Structure 1
Amino acid sequence: MYPAKNGDAFLVDAGGTYLLIDAGFATTYQDFIAADLAQLAKRGARLNLVVCTHIDADHIGGLLEFFSQNGTPAKRGIEVDAVWHNSLRSLPAPTAGPDSIYDGVVLEAIRRRGFPRPPTSSPNPISARQGSSLASLLRQHSYTWNSGNGSKCISEGYMHTLPGDVSLHVIGPTTARLEDLRSLWLSEVKKLGYKGSSQPSDLIDDAYEMWCASMPDRSNPQATPIAASGNLRLAEVYTPDTSIPNGSSITFIVSAGNKRVLFLGDAWAEDVVAKLRSFHTPTTPLIFDAIKVSHHGSLHNTSVDLLSVADSPRFLISSDGTRHGHPDFEVLAEIVDRPAPFTRHLFFNYETAATKRLELHTSRSGTAFSVHVAKNDWIQLGKVNND
């Protein structure tokens, strides 16, 4: 779990089968991920799958940097077998004529605006080089994208098998969530004068992803301020996420041998609950070997209902606390307060106010738990030394 500021970046080693899931900002890739991938390539390893969970700057930025630097098919820095990424091209578009010249001017203006810079006070020359969308890079560099050329989306129910007895079961998003994001984008660019039909093109790819990555969480409810001495429970403060980009997150279960890990991106809790309940009796929770907590531990993406259908001895929370104060303490407390026949270990990639407070917390049920700050270290899912 790389230090990705307020973003996500995960490298998974499933017995020699490797998955890169998001890559934080461009600086996350440059400062941390690039060296690890170079070592893998030197050993003859490859990335069996790269996943961009959704188009948000703190998830996609490092992937843009990676794919812009990884070379051509004739000479890759590291081989990549498959990429998952839902862009506008991945959704079926109505048949229509090409955009007008004026439509092209509107889209070009969005393209020139580019992707947002990472949260830093100084200019970032790495981020400034990101002038193409991930969709454009995947096409230009001939990657296998969404099991083909990117014209199909990765959505709930999709199954994928990788070498070494590794499989992935996609539990979200629904196609409807992806269509919602397209509709939101179209409504926003129409305000700028765009009247086209968003037929697939490199310019459309660029404008769509750059706009989505820059989209503020305007529809997301504001967190209720909690005093440092407050003692409210998650059920008292939880309000569902309504951010359409977050709702488009690719969420999935990775199974390797007898291990299962649930990766939730920034998904809505209600969507995850509905899917997990569709194939499991709700009387007892599904137990995973690890759960990557949705949206950096936001109280809008982990509900009491979600924690009743999914549990684990390991929870992974990725955030430095610089955006919206994530993770929210109410989520962390609810995770450890529930009774369980096992000790829960919570892994963070940064020390934050919430992690410090959690270290002083006593579980309401008496269930044991521990707090770990894993700075660029492997988190083992086999026998773990938790000292």
Structure 2
Amino acid sequence: MYTARNGDAFLIDAGGTYLLIDAGFASTYQNFIATDLAQLAKGGGRLDLVVCTHIDADHIGGLLEFFSGNGTPAKRGIEVDAVWHNSLRSLPAPTAEPDGFHDRMVLEAIRRRGFPRAPISSPAPISARQGSSLAKLLREHGYTWNSGNGSTCISEGGALALSSDVRVQVIGPATARLEELRSRWLKEVRKLGYKGSSQPTDLIDDAYEMWCASAPAPAVPRANPIAANGSLRLEEVYTPDTSIANGSSITLIISKGNKRALFLGDAWAEDVAAKLRSLYTPTTPIIFDVIKVSHHGSRHNTSVDLLSVADSPCFLVSSDGTRHGHPDFEVLAEIVDRPAPFKRHLFFNYETAASKELESHTSKSGTAFSVHLAENDWIQLGEQL
């Protein structure tokens, strides 16, 4: 779990099968991930799957840096067998005439803005490649993208066997979430004077992804009831996320043998809970070996209902606390306050106000838990659990 500032970046070793899930900002890749991938390639390793969960700057920036410099099919820095990334060309588009001159100028204006840069406080800040979308890089550099050329989307129900005992199951997003994001994109560029039909082109790819990576999330009301004892429970403060970009996150169950990992990107709690119920019809919480908490521990993406469906002895929380105060303490407290027949271990890649508060917290159910700081080092499932 790399130190990705307020973003996500995970490298997974499933018994010699490697997955990279998001890569934070460009500086995350350059400062940390690049060295590990070079070492992996030197030893004959490869990336079996790279996943861009969704088009947010704190998830996609490092992947832009990686794919822009990983070479051509004739000479790769490290081989990549498959890439999952939902861009505009992954959704079917109506047949129409190509964009006219004015439409292209509107798209060019968006492209010139480029991708958002890493936070100023980031160590040795490095800007993402400004001129090319991830879609364009994948197509031009010949990667197997969404099982082909990127013209289909990765959505709930999909699956991929990476080896004889490693499988990746897609539990989200629903195609409707991706369609909602496209509709919002079209609505916003219409305001800028675009009248085209967003037929797949390099310019469309660039403008769409750059807009998605920098589009402001809709305001989510924050409930602030006054608690008599000064502490609030998650059920008192939870309000659902309404960001369509977050709702489009690719969410995964990665299994190896009898081990299962749940990676939630920035997904909506309601979508995840509903899908898990449809898959497992649980009467008690489904136990995963590890859960990557959605949206950096935001109280808008983890609900009491979701935690009643899924539990684990190991939770991963990726955030430095600089954006929106993630993680929210109410989420962390709700995780550890529930009764369980096992000890829970919560891993953070930064010390934050909420993680420090959790260290002095006592579980209301008496269930044991521990707090760990994991900075760019392997978390060995099963050893410390």
Q: TM-score over 0.5 for the alignment?
A: yes
Alignment of 1:268-279 (within 5 A): 268-279=268-279
Name the residue aligned to 1:110: 110
Name the residue aligned to 1:155: 155
- The Cα offsets for residues 325-355 of structure 1, whole Å up to 9 and x where unpaired, read as 0000000000000000000000000000000
Question: What is the rounded CA distance, in whole Å, between the counterparts of 1:331 and 1:121 in structure 2?
Answer: 26
Alignment of 1:182-221 (within 5 A): 182-221=182-221
Deviation at 1:226, TM superposition (A): 8.5
Question: What is the rounded CA distance, in whole Å, between the counterparts of 1:308 and 1:282 in structure 2?
Answer: 10
Deviation at 1:258, TM superposition (A): 1.4
Q: Secondary structure at the match of 1:246?
A: helix
Question: Is the CA contact 1:90–1:150 (under 8 Å) kept in the aligned structure 2?
Answer: yes
Name the residue aligned to 2:259: 259
Structure 1 vs Structure 2 CA RMSD: 1.6
Q: Secondary structure at the match of 2:160?
A: strand
Alignment of 1:88-237 (within 5 A): 88-120=88-120, 126-127=126-127, 129-222=129-222, 224=224, 230-237=230-237
Residue identity opposite 1:41 in structure 2: A
Question: What is the rounded CA distance, in whole Å, between the counterparts of 2:225 and 2:112 in structure 1?
Answer: 37
Identity of aligned residues (%): 82
Deviation at 1:257, TM superposition (A): 1.3
Question: Is the CA contact 1:221–1:242 (under 8 Å) kept in the aligned structure 2?
Answer: no
Question: What is the rounded CA distance, in whole Å, between the counterparts of 2:314 and 2:187 in structure 1?
Answer: 41
Question: What is the rounded CA distance, in whole Å, between the counterparts of 2:361 and 2:125 in structure 1?
Answer: 42
Residue identity opposite 1:210 in structure 2: M
Q: Secondary structure at the match of 1:86?
A: coil
Question: What is the rounded CA distance, in whole Å, between the counterparts of 2:348 and 2:125 in structure 1?
Answer: 28
Alignment of 1:304-323 (within 5 A): 304-323=304-323
Question: What is the rounded CA distance, in whole Å, between the counterparts of 1:122 and 1:11 in structure 2?
Answer: 20
Name the residue aligned to 2:335: 335
Deviation at 1:137, TM superposition (A): 0.1
Residue identity opposite 1:10 in structure 2: F
Name the residue aligned to 2:22: 22
Cα distance 1:303–1:123, how it changes in 2: closer, same or farther (>3 A)? closer
Question: Is the CA contact 1:25–1:118 (under 8 Å) kept in the aligned structure 2?
Answer: yes
Name the residue aligned to 1:299: 299
Deviation at 1:130, TM superposition (A): 2.9
Question: Is the CA contact 1:15–1:164 (under 8 Å) kept in the aligned structure 2?
Answer: no
Question: Is the CA contact 2:27–2:125 (under 8 Å) kept in the aligned structure 1?
Answer: no
Question: What is the rounded CA distance, in whole Å, between the counterparts of 2:57 and 2:34 in structure 1?
Answer: 18
Name the residue aligned to 1:80: 80
Question: Is the CA contact 1:337–1:363 (under 8 Å) kept in the aligned structure 2?
Answer: yes
Question: What is the rounded CA distance, in whole Å, between the counterparts of 2:52 and 2:230 in structure 1?
Answer: 37
Deviation at 1:225, TM superposition (A): 9.0
Q: Secondary structure at the match of 1:127?
A: coil
Cα distance 1:226–1:210, how it changes in 2: closer, same or farther (>3 A)? farther
Residue identity opposite 1:288 in structure 2: F
Per mean C-alpha deviation after superposition, the further-off stretch among 329-338 and 375-384 is: 375-384
Q: Secondary structure at the match of 2:187?
A: helix
Residue identity opposite 2:239 in structure 1: T
Question: What is the rounded CA distance, in whole Å, between the counterparts of 1:11 and 1:122 in structure 2?
Answer: 20
Question: Is the CA contact 2:232–2:330 (under 8 Å) kept in the aligned structure 1?
Answer: yes
Residue identity opposite 1:99 in structure 2: D
Name the residue aligned to 2:2: 2
What stretches of structure 1 of length at least 5 have no aligned partner? none
Question: What is the rounded CA distance, in whole Å, between the counterparts of 1:221 and 1:65 in structure 2?
Answer: 35
Deviation at 1:383, TM superposition (A): 2.2
Deviation at 1:218, TM superposition (A): 2.2
- The Cα offsets for residues 354-378 of structure 1, whole Å up to 9 and x where unpaired, read as 0000000000000000000101111
Deviation at 1:222, TM superposition (A): 4.1
What stretches of structure 2 of length at least 5 have no aligned partner? none
TM-score, with structure 1 as normaliser:
0.97
Q: Secondary structure at the match of 1:186?
A: helix
Residue identity opposite 1:203 in structure 2: L
